[in-house]
A = this chain, B = another copy of it.
Amino acid sequence: MAAPNLLRTINETRVLNLLFQRGPHSRADIARELQVTRSTASALVAGLVERGLLLETEETADVERIGRPGFVVKLNPSARTYIGVDIAVSELRIVALDLNADVIASLTVPYTDPATPDYVVGLVRPAVEKLLADNGLAFAAVEGLGVAIPGLVETDGVIVFAPILNWRNVDINDMIQRAFDAPINLYFDNDANACAVSEGYRAETSASGTLAYFLMDSGVGLGILHQGQVFRGQEGVAGEIGHARFFGGLGDSGLGDDVDFAAAPTFEDVVGREGVLRMCARHQLPITSIREFVELAKTGDPDARRVFELWARCLAVGVANLCVILNPDEIVFGGKTAELFSIDPKCVHDEANRHLRFMFKTPTLRTSVLGVLAASVGVASVMHGQSFAISANTDGALSA
């Protein structure tokens, strides 16, 4: 079964990875980077060009060197298309990536009926076809379709529970697979995980380090990207930091004698949307939405500032606790409630630092750059990554 051409497949994948991560290269440069001979590099490029994955250009390598210049080859962006679908609370968000992992198209489809599984999943195929048609993309080039779910989804595509949609035990893999005529390469993940991928996929962090993504709306989810892979627990439940309890005080005795920790508020009770609004109410702020609060705080209102500082202090406890457990390189805040972070990032940073003084480097804290499309781009990126992966299957056999 395994063949001598396995080596060729692996090396082709290495060429694709090199061109994706570090841009166009000449054949001679490819040979140097991949540590193969120029003859091998030429053969690899020839095969990939013939299959349409690479384009030969007229451009010479920009490095000024003596000797004959080389013509660079690059990825053919339109050779493949990767689709990402985010099933959000009130709309479907769809993006298409090309072989460069660039977003080449996006589409939002609001729900006009109640968001039942049948209704929402029924929107997927028409929406995908519209996205492709509107942008002149061929269905045949679609290499995979990723789906982000605001809830707990198993890797085989069964939604165990999506609280915001109130979906339970939905076999979305089966539903989508049947909506399309031909078998299609599908992937399912939690929205926080997808967001983490979207923020880390193209960064250096992707391959080497750890990125944590706080997805903060009403609840608080956590996506963990570790060495380019989503960190999933035994059932994909990793990242439910919103349910963590960091605020169960030990009481007067200092020993917790009479404290019921399970009755203490969870992390998301305190720093999620409802937590913020509750703090506002207690401080007599006439606020009904996160957006209003952020605007008020940015005017410099002292009461709003006071609430923000409380929120930052509580968030920092979670950030610090995450740091001592995972020590990520980078922490990203996304979702509506995360807009509070931008009021004064330094404040959150300083509060977290008070807990982490014994460490040498606090992670970078920043807000998400992709906005509402983050989850869609994330799951599409995972599909993209599959095209560039050299992986060992369960038998230890390598494939690419």
Binding site for B on A (CB under 8 A): 1-2, 4, 6-7, 10, 14, 17-18, 33-36, 160, 209-210, 222, 226, 231-251, 253-257, 261-262, 264-265, 270, 278-279, 282, 310, 313-314, 316-317, 320-329, 354-355, 358-361, 363, 390, 392, 395-398
The contact of A329 among B34, B209, B234, B310, by CB within 8 Å, is B234
A246 touches B243 (CB 8 A): no
> Known contacts A249-B249, A398-B10; is A210 also within 8 Å of B222 by CB?
no
By a CB distance below 8 angstroms, the chain B residues around A359 are 235, 237, 240
Q: Which of B240, B265, B398 contacts A250 (CB 8 A)?
A: B265
In the complex, residue of chain B having the shortest beta-carbon distance to the beta carbon of A35: B1
Q: Which residues of B contact A316 (CB under 8 A)?
A: 261
* Assembly stoichiometry (copies): 2
Q: Are A324 and B243 in contact (CB under 8 A)?
A: yes
B residues within 8 A CB of A210?
233-234, 238
What are 18 of the A-B contact pairs (CB < 8 Å)?
A33-B395, A210-B238, A222-B325, A233-B323, A234-B327, A235-B360, A242-B324, A243-B355, A244-B321, A245-B246, A245-B317, A246-B321, A247-B256, A248-B317, A255-B279, A256-B310, A325-B326, A390-B392
Q: Which of B1, B232, B278, B326 contacts A36 (CB 8 A)?
A: B1
Q: Tell whether, in the assembled complex, residue A250 and residue B249 are in contact, meaning their CB atoms are under 8 Å apart.
A: yes
A360 neighbours in B (Cβ, 8 Å): 160, 235, 237
What residue of chain B has the Cβ atom nearest to residue A251's Cβ? B249
Q: How far is the CA of A241 from the CA of B321 in the complex (A)?
A: 7
Residues in B with CB closer than 8 Å to A160 are 360
Task: Flag if B34 contacts A245 (CB, 8 Å).
Answer: no
The reply to whether A234 and B363 contact each other, CB–CB distance below 8 Å, is: yes
Partner of A321, one of B231, B233, B245: B245
Whether A2 contacts B36 by the Cβ 8 Å rule is yes
Is B317 within 8 A of A241, CB to CB?
Answer: no
Residues of B within 8 A of A397 (CB): 14, 34-35
With A262-B355, A396-B14 already in contact, the answer to whether A325 and B249 are too (CB < 8 A) is no
CB <8 Å contact, B363 and A325: no
With A210-B233, A325-B326 known, 4 other A-B pairs at CB within 8 A are A222-B325, A245-B317, A249-B250, A256-B314
| Docked pose: A261 CA to B10 CA in angstroms | 52
> Distance in Å from the Cβ of A371 to the closest Cβ of chain B?
25
CA distance A395 to B21 in the complex (A): 11
Inside 8 A of A10's CB, which chain B residues have their CB?
Answer: 398
Given the complex, which residues of B lie within 8 Å of A361, measured CB to CB?
234-235
In angstroms, Cα B356 to Cα A240, docked, is 11
Question: Are A328 and B249 closer than 8 Å at their CB atoms?
Answer: no
Bound-complex Cα distance A390 to B393 (A): 12
Establish whether residues A355 and B245, one from each chain, have CB atoms under 8 Å apart when the complex forms. yes
Residue in B35, B233, B396 whose CB lies within 8 Å of A327? B233
Residue numbers in B under 8 Å from A242 (CB-CB): 324
List the B side residues contacting A240 at CB < 8 Å. 324-325, 327, 359
Report the separation of the CA atoms of residues A323 and B72 in the bound assembly, to the nearest whole angstrom: 49
Residue of B nearest to A314 (CB): B256
A25 CB to nearest B CB, Å: 13
Q: How far is the CB of A13 from chain B (nearest CB, A)?
A: 8
Please indicate the chain B residues that have their CB under 8 angstroms from the CB of A264 in the complex: 249
